[in-house]
Structure 1
Amino acid sequence: MAVSPPSPTPVSARPARHGAFHSLTVAAVDRLTDDSVALTLSVPRELRAEYLHAPGQHLTLRRRGPEGTEVRRTYSICSPAPGAAGPALLRVGVRLVEGGEFSTFAHKEIAAGDVLDVMVPAGRFVLDPAAAPAAAHYAAIVGGSGITPVLSIAASLLSARTDARFCLVRSDRTAASTMFLEEVADLKDRYPDRFQLVTVLSREEQEAGLPSGRLDEERLTTLLPALLPVAEVTGWFLCGPYGLVQGAERALGALGVGRTRVHEEIFHVEDTAPSTPVRSATAAHGRVTARLDGRSGTWSVEDGESLLDAVLRNRADAPYACKGGVCGTCRAFLVAGEVRMDRNFALEAEETEAGFVLACQSHAVTEEVEIDFDR
């Protein structure tokens, strides 16, 4: 179907497009642990406005393969949020995943001077320091590489708001496997009265501090009230493996923390049953109307096809990264019709209740469905 082009706007005023990639040069590759590295990316002056980001957002990196294939992976930005001019540098943490195509590439092949395809920032696991109330007190519970976005959130908040406090409860396997150890220690040195750090190692005893072991629901329910006034915390950020995040969510619920004060981001989910129960069968045939970057189109949806795949057949610039219901890059507003989502580990309850869906996990239940990526 033919679509109308968007109205032209001056380049300086044009906002970043959904899913837009640009080529960025790798400025540095820093070894964090035996199985993790930090990639620092240089942002040309003319692109800095497009890479403005809120604390906690992520980047999608793309590697092109033979015959037009590509691999996309999402990594959170660990550097603090930039000023209004945009960032000259962006830094992300990459942990090696067994069998992971992109993480193996990052660890073994990427070097300073290489050029990578990098999507503009996305994600809603964020904190706006300017919007925080007076004397705000935030807390985070993270596991492993879940420290990455929270490092940006904590550093940005404490730098921008001299009246704010932040408590970080982090869980790692061993001290040697702990990502951004120096960066977190630097926060403690700079803000000793406003930054509280609690470290738990699951497979190694510490000389001082808490005993080793997993941070599960039972342990957190006992630990958190001993660390800080749970009821007075402005907002909670949970990030890491699915099991840790779910256990922390249940512990906070048992301690009386309202769901609206809890924000979650899951880095990895093992193959599980769909998180959203099947409510009805999908439509045998259907059409999807999608709005993206000011342009709309209507296309057929093939049997068993997700809405995202139907849009991608016609709009290669549709935003996506993991296609597993985890990163939330393909979030869209359901304007009309009914869909079934197979999995949802990215959208919070308030978002789904407001009408947002993950296009990669959504299948048409009604013959006509309309979604809007621009909302």
Structure 2
Amino acid sequence: MFHPLRVSEVERLTDDAVALTFEVPPELRDRFLHTPGQHVALRRKAVDAAAPGGEIRRTYSICAPAGTEPVLRVGVRLVEGGQFSTYAFKELAAGDTVEVMEPTGRFVLEPRPGYFAAIVGGSGITPVLSIVSTLLAREPEARFCLVRSDRTVASTMFLDEVADLKDRYPDRFQLVTVISREEQQAGLSTGRLDRQRLAQLLPAMLPVADVDGWFLCGPLGLVAGADRALRGLGVDRSRIHQEIFHVDDAAAGTPALAPSAPPVTGSTLTATLAGRSGTWPVKDGEPLLETVLRSRADAPYACRGGVCGTCRAFLVSGEVTMDRNFALEPEETDAGYVLACQSHAATPDVELDFDR
């Protein structure tokens, strides 16, 4: 559900990134309490009349620590040609109102004792900043190692916030920074964090086998390389959590899930959403999310690209094929969850449940 929230602050983080802070009124307090690592979708009317539904939705992770009072702050990086990021970076100002969806997402860590680590690239720091700041503040028996990669020092988001964590928790917070496009006088050598480099770097920095949970966030290339490096070092898949912020054009055309059955024509979809069910005919070739949206404008979605996971639904019956899946973990797809924005009916009747 979306709510109109007033922007209380627009803070310039870098030459191409801002942090937006929203005021949460008392009556919405419980709805905007978040778990560390969750995100919100922001919505505005589209300038381009051809935009789906006449609106633009984008998902941004909450970077503020979780607490008993909601602090809603997100980081937005300017993307070339990005309609919402350009609007947020160049036009939004304190006092403006933006429609904000309630927090969601499963890239989370509830504070608990243990040793945790993250490998992030660029704006992938955003959810991890909420995770690590909440964890270290609430759990004195927790430790965290953050490995972050950025193009340049000037492009690094949340420099001050991360430095503050290092000063506040010197014995429990380890920070490793890699800059890919400029030479540094100290620290690690310049270059990308690919699979081979991480496989060499990680065992030299920390006891890989002792880490209770790994959090990988950023562009697809970095996340995929880090996952392969960790698996090669013997890390169990259950300890690796991923969230992808950007999928390049080459990867965008690659299906992430092999079809289990060919698409069919003349299908019927039954979907449950917010406690109400409906049944509708599926137009040939359309994603099931579009079928639902024709009658239920409140169907959850954000990116429509198989990345954010906002449209996750449980496949109650029937079969579907998914074009792409960069959001669901293997255990989720094994349990029967699909992305409605990427799913096509593969049987005459399909039933989805968005409430599970």
Shorter-chain TM-score bucket reads: over 0.9
- Please give the alpha-carbon distance, in whole angstroms, between the structure 1 residues aligned to 2:152 and 2:257: 34
1:197-212 equivalences under 5 Å are 197-212=175-190
The corresponding residue for 1:142 is 120
Q: Among 20, 25, 30, which residue is 1:49 paired with?
A: 30
SS at match of 1:288: strand
The corresponding residue for 1:12 is none
SS at match of 2:341: helix
- 1:354 matched to 2:339? The reply is no
- 1:267 matched to 2:267? The reply is no
The corresponding residue for 1:93 is 75
Residue 206 of structure 1: how far off its partner (Å): 1.4
Q: Among 199, 218, 221, which residue is 1:243 paired with?
A: 221
Residue 277 of structure 1: how far off its partner (Å): 2.4
- Please give the alpha-carbon distance, in whole angstroms, between the structure 2 residues aligned to 1:269 and 1:57: 19
Give the letter aligned to residue 187 of structure 2: G
Question: Is 2:261–2:319's contact at 8 Å kept on the other side of the alignment?
Answer: no
- Please give the alpha-carbon distance, in whole angstroms, between the structure 1 residues aligned to 2:21 and 2:311: 25
- Please give the alpha-carbon distance, in whole angstroms, between the structure 2 residues aligned to 1:300 and 1:121: 31
Question: Is 2:44–2:98's contact at 8 Å kept on the other side of the alignment?
Answer: yes
TM-superposition CA deviations, 1:66-119 (whole Å, max 9, x none): 566100000000000121xx41x3100000000000000011100000000000
> Structure 2: where are the runs of 5+ without partners?
none
Q: Among 89, 109, 129, which residue is 2:91 paired with?
A: 109
- 1:329 matched to 2:314? The reply is no
Q: Among 317, 322, 331, which residue is 1:341 paired with?
A: 322
- 1:82 matched to 2:82? The reply is no
User: What is the identity percentage for the equivalent residue pairs of Structure 1 and Structure 2?
Assistant: 69
Residue 54 of structure 1: how far off its partner (Å): 0.3
Per mean C-alpha deviation after superposition, the further-off stretch among 217-226 and 263-272 is 263-272
- Please give the alpha-carbon distance, in whole angstroms, between the structure 2 residues aligned to 1:295 and 1:202: 50
- 1:178 matched to 2:156? The reply is yes
The corresponding residue for 1:223 is 201
CA RMSD of superposed structures (Å) = 0.9
- Please give the alpha-carbon distance, in whole angstroms, between the structure 2 residues aligned to 1:161 and 1:82: 13
Give the letter aligned to residue 181 of structure 1: L
* Count of aligned pairs: 349
- Please give the alpha-carbon distance, in whole angstroms, between the structure 2 residues aligned to 1:237 and 1:283: 38
TM-superposition CA deviations, 1:197-218 (whole Å, max 9, x none): 0000001111211001000000
The corresponding residue for 1:120 is 102
Residue 274 of structure 1: how far off its partner (Å): 1.6
- 1:154 matched to 2:135? The reply is no
- Please give the alpha-carbon distance, in whole angstroms, between the structure 2 residues aligned to 1:208 and 1:111: 38
Question: Which TM-score applies when normalising by structure 2?
Answer: 0.97
Indicate the structure whose relative CO is greater, using CA pairs within 8 Å and at least 6 residues apart. 1
Q: Among 22, 25, 44, which residue is 2:6 paired with?
A: 25
- Please give the alpha-carbon distance, in whole angstroms, between the structure 1 residues aligned to 2:6 and 2:18: 16
- Please give the alpha-carbon distance, in whole angstroms, between the structure 1 residues aligned to 2:287 and 2:179: 40
The corresponding residue for 1:234 is 212
Give the letter aligned to residue 64 of structure 2: S
Residue 280 of structure 1: how far off its partner (Å): 2.7
The corresponding residue for 1:163 is 141
Residue 237 of structure 1: how far off its partner (Å): 0.1
SS at match of 1:177: coil
- Please give the alpha-carbon distance, in whole angstroms, between the structure 2 residues aligned to 1:284 and 1:47: 43
Give the letter aligned to residue 80 of structure 1: P
Q: Among 298, 302, 319, which residue is 2:300 paired with?
A: 319
Runs of 4+ more than 2 Å apart? 65-68, 277-280
Give the letter aligned to residue 342 of structure 1: D
Give the letter aligned to residue 186 of structure 2: A
The corresponding residue for 2:285 is 304
- Please give the alpha-carbon distance, in whole angstroms, between the structure 2 residues aligned to 1:279 and 1:295: 29
Give the letter aligned to residue 128 of structure 1: E
- Please give the alpha-carbon distance, in whole angstroms, between the structure 1 residues aligned to 2:229 and 2:183: 24
Residue 28 of structure 1: how far off its partner (Å): 0.4
- Please give the alpha-carbon distance, in whole angstroms, between the structure 2 residues aligned to 1:116 and 1:42: 11
Give the letter aligned to residue 312 of structure 2: R
SS at match of 2:204: helix
